[in-house]
Amino acid sequence: MAKPSGSGEGPAAVRTALERSRLLLEENPALLRALTHPGVPAPARRNVVAAVWAQAPEEVSRLMQLLVERDRVRILPAVAEEFALAWNEGRGVVAAVAVSAIELDASQNQGLTKALEKAAGKTVELTTRVDPFVLGGLRITLGGRTLDGTVVAQLRALRRRLQGAA
């Protein structure tokens, strides 16, 4: 894992490395098994962490060693999320996730970000995901609240109203 270039290691570099570590474990089940399987000796697991996280910020490589030693690697996603929340809160930024049936283009992303910033009264860090199951519309999670304007949600609401009228 390469160290982020630029201004050295700080909270931003740690946040980036934690997110990259989360993605690395999510996308590589064999690596996760090697770090969590009881049949893999502890020294071998420590060597894997030392090799894979050699270029990560020291705080992240030490955290990974600790998680492996304590058999807690599976909590890394929660650690990464909590660190990102705390870091954003300190900067006055709120994270938002928008889920749509198709990928949003740059102008849609920009317009949505501006609208969310106006609604939240804060700078918004927007992450977008594609989920064809929503059929259309958007599901937005902002500051712990979810606004579901997807076609699937509208169909469910319609079904409930029709069942209540019958």
Confidence category of residue 150, pLDDT binned at 50, 70, 90: very high
Listing DSSP states for the chain in one string gives -PPPPSS-SSHHHHHHHHHHHHHHHHH-HHHHHHHH-TTS-HHHHHHHHHHHTTTS-HHHHHHHHHHHHTT-GGGHHHHHHHHHHHHHHHHTEEEEEEEESS---HHHHHHHHHHHHHHHTSEEEEEEEE-GGG-SSEEEEETTEEEE--HHHHHHHHHHHHHHH-
**3 within some domain:** no
If asked whether residues 117 and 136 sit together in one domain, one would say: yes
Identify the pLDDT of residue 10: 85
Confidence category of residue 92, pLDDT binned at 50, 70, 90: confident
Q: Residue 35: what are its φ and ψ, rounded to 5°? A: -85, -15
**6 within some domain:** no
Q: Name the burial class of residue 108, with classes exposed (0-12), middle (13-18) and buried (19+) by CB atoms within 10 angstroms of its CB.
A: middle
If asked whether residues 97 and 69 sit together in one domain, one would say: no
Confidence category of residue 7, pLDDT binned at 50, 70, 90: very low
pLDDT at residue 165 greater than cutoff 80: no
Q: Residue 28: what are its φ and ψ, rounded to 5°? A: -130, 80
If asked whether residues 121 and 159 sit together in one domain, one would say: yes
Query: Taking the model in full, what pTM does it have?
Result: 0.65
Query: For residue 27, what are the domain limits?
Result: 11-82
Confidence category of residue 5, pLDDT binned at 50, 70, 90: very low
**113 within some domain:** yes
Identify the pLDDT of residue 166: 64
Identify the pLDDT of residue 128: 93
Which CATH number characterizes residue 146's domain?
3.40.30
Q: Of 82, 114, 132, which closes a domain?
A: 82
pLDDT at residue 130 greater than cutoff 60: yes
